[in-house]
């Protein structure tokens, strides 16, 4: 077939692909072409000639659009516009596009574009946006925040992860109260957030490739399996409010243990989600990490904590609004905000020696409660329901309605956990704390299992 053809649907539809990419030119329209790949993809193109700086003439190619999504009429109209700009006005459209892309790449520093990325996350209702922002401020901005996003290379990303690993080693060496970490978990999350940010920059055509993909990543998810034993539970419960922590902070930690819920969900708990008539904490989909509705039955210990903490926060929207007051105020503050992301871990780190519990984090409390209700004989399903672990398969019905059908099982779980706490934390001394075998027998005798 000749390389110059009439651009008619009947002709273009019948063009057969060959072993190599071929270009067919439109009869009577200089530079207006149709590229056909061996796979059969047909794309309208425009080719023009320029002599940059009076040098040798070279060809420039502009992709117009794929056929048949782009009709011949639509593609010809675009070709006519390009032709006019090039030959009537002397413009080099490809070079102008490159110059514009360069301007755009130098428009945003990493810190500036991070704000675009974070705002997009907030508009989508992304759960971890605040955590991402704190991570950027701690580990990304200090090293590359002032760089333009188009200037960031793999070596810059490598410096970020090396800094995190080095920091973890120094903490392990210099701070005996610091829970030992390799830093690889922090690297994993930092690079994940940074990768997502640069992916957005690629989608916006601000950069050609994501520099994070070119790094030999050092991160990995660090899975903790730390569970407090019964004596450590006794120490925690009977000391946490007597070691100088602000009462609200101490009560948050106790509430995590009694309810088995995530620390960030407890910290952000709102009074409006507490249903005293049902003795239920009803989290909406926006309140939970996995965006599933979750009703949490509250046992006696949880209800007592709510009553006592209200003396500090009742005027605030937040049950555990951040306040460092050591005694209930005369006038309640209505402007309290939730405790910060690191407030609880910092509190434990500073007071770990006084607690007498080693290598211990707030999230271990949630794992501890779930472990021991199964340890004394309850089905694993009950723990999963309380932890609000999302199943791999779900639909709208299960996400919105089925949660209510598990109220009975969850209530059983918190009642058993209340009984276990009774047997542990009410002991006169740590030496009276029962063993697991003894506790199992007591649970059976009480008819709870």
DSSP characters for 293-327? -EEEE--HHHHHHHHHHHHHHTTSSBTTB----SS
Average per-residue pLDDT for the chain: 89
Same domain, 250 and 354: yes
Question: For position 404, what pLDDT does the model report?
Answer: 52
Q: At residue 180, does pLDDT exceed 80?
A: no
Domain at 17, CATH number: 3.30.160.390
Share of the chain above pLDDT 70, in %: 93
* Pairing mode, strands 22-26 and 4-5: parallel
Tell me which residue range forms the domain holding 204: 110-214
- Domain-embedded: residue 223: no
* Token representation of residue 190: 């930092």
Q: What total of structural domains would you count in the chain? A: 3
pLDDT in tens, 85-119: 999 999 999 998 888 777 766 689 999 999 999 99
Structural contact between residues 424 and 369, judged by C-beta atoms closer than 8 angstroms: no
Domain at 161, CATH number: 1.10.150.130
- Domain-embedded: residue 286: yes
Question: For position 396, what pLDDT does the model report?
Answer: 46
Phi-psi region of 284 (alpha: psi -120 to 50; beta: other; left: phi over 0): beta
Domain at 297, CATH number: 1.10.443.10
Write down which residue in 214, 242, 275 finishes a domain. 214
Same domain, 239 and 316: yes
- Domain-embedded: residue 225: no
Q: At residue 177, does pLDDT exceed 70?
A: no
Lowest mean per-residue pLDDT among 134-148, 182-196, 253-267, 388-402: 388-402
- Domain-embedded: residue 241: yes
Write down which residue in 92, 127, 151 finishes a domain. 92
Q: What is the pTM of this model?
A: 0.62
Same domain, 302 and 398: yes
Same domain, 314 and 404: yes
Report how far residue 269's alpha carbon sits from residue 253's, in angstroms, rounded to the nearest whole number. Answer: 13
**Average confidence (pLDDT) over 47-51:** 93
Confidence of residue 265 (pLDDT cuts 50, 70, 90): very high
Q: Could you tell me where the DSSP H helices lie in 84-183?
A: 93-105, 110-123, 129-135, 141-144, 154-174
pLDDT in tens, 361-408: 899 999 999 999 999 999 999 989 998 876 644 444 444 445 455 888
Same domain, 157 and 297: no
**In 3D, which of 247, 241, 319, 311 has the Cα closest to residue 276?**
319
Q: At residue 130, does pLDDT exceed 90?
A: no
Higher pLDDT, 402 or 18: 18
Same domain, 80 and 126: no
Same domain, 282 and 407: yes
- Domain-embedded: residue 221: no
Same domain, 434 and 335: yes
Structural contact between residues 213 and 197, judged by C-beta atoms closer than 8 angstroms: no
Same domain, 390 and 312: yes
Q: At residue 179, does pLDDT exceed 70?
A: no
- Domain-embedded: residue 439: yes
Same domain, 74 and 141: no
- Domain-embedded: residue 220: no
- Domain-embedded: residue 431: yes
First to last CA, the chain: 83
Same domain, 276 and 390: yes
Confidence of residue 289 (pLDDT cuts 50, 70, 90): confident
Same domain, 404 and 431: yes
């Amino acid at each position: 077939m000749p390389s110059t053809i009439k651009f008619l649907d009947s002709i273009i539809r019948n063009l057969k692909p060959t072993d190599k990419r071929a270009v067919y030119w439109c009869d009577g329209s200089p530079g207006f072409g149709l590229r056909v790949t061996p796979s059969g993809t047909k794309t309208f193109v425009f080719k023009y000639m320029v002599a940059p700086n009076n040098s040798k003439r070279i060809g420039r190619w502009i992709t117009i659009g794929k056929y048949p999504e782009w009709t011949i009429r639509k593609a010809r109209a675009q070709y006519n516009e390009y032709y006019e700009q090039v030959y009537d006005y002397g413009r080099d459209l490809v070079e102008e596009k490159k110059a514009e892309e360069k301007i755009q790449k130098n428009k945003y520093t990493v810190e500036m574009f991070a704000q675009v990325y974070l705002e997009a996350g907030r508009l989508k209702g992304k759960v971890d946006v605040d955590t991402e922002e704190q991570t950027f401020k701690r580990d990304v901005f200090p090293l590359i925040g002032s760089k333009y996003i188009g200037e960031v290379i793999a070596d810059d990303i490598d410096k970020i992860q090396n800094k995190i690993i080095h920091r973890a080693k120094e903490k392990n060496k210099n701070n005996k109260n610091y829970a030992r970490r390799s830093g690889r978990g922090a690297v994993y999350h930092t690079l994940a957030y940074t990768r997502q940010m640069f992916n957005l920059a690629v989608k916006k055509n601000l950069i050609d490739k994501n520099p994070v993909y070119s790094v030999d990543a050092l991160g990995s998810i660090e899975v903790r399996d730390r569970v407090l034993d019964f004596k450590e539970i006794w120490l925690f419960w009977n000391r946490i409010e007597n070691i100088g922590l602000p009462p609200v902070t101490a009560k948050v930690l106790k509430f995590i243990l009694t309810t088995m819920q995530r620390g960030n969900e407890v910290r952000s708990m709102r009074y409006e989600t507490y249903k005293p008539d049902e003795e239920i904490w009803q989290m909406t989909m926006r309140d939970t990490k996995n965006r599933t509705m979750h009703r949490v039955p509250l046992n006696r210990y949880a209800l007592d904590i709510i009553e006592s903490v209200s003396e500090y926060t009742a005027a605030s929207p937040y049950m555990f609004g951040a306040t460092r007051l050591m005694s209930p105020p005369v006038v309640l503050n209505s402007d309290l905000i939730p405790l910060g992301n690191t407030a609880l871990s910092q509190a434990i780190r500073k007071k770990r020696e006084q607690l007498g519990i080693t290598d211990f984090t707030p999230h271990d409390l949630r794992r501890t409660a779930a472990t021991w209700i199964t340890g004394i004989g309850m089905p694993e399903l009950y723990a999963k329901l309380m932890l609000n672990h999302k199943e791999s398969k779900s639909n709208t019905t299960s996400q919105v309605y089925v949660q209510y059908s598990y109220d009975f099982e969850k209530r059983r779980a918190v009642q058993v956990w209340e009984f276990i706490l009774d047997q542990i934390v009410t002991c006169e001394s740590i030496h009276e704390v029962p063993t697991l075998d003894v506790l199992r027998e007591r649970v059976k005798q009480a008819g709870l299992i």
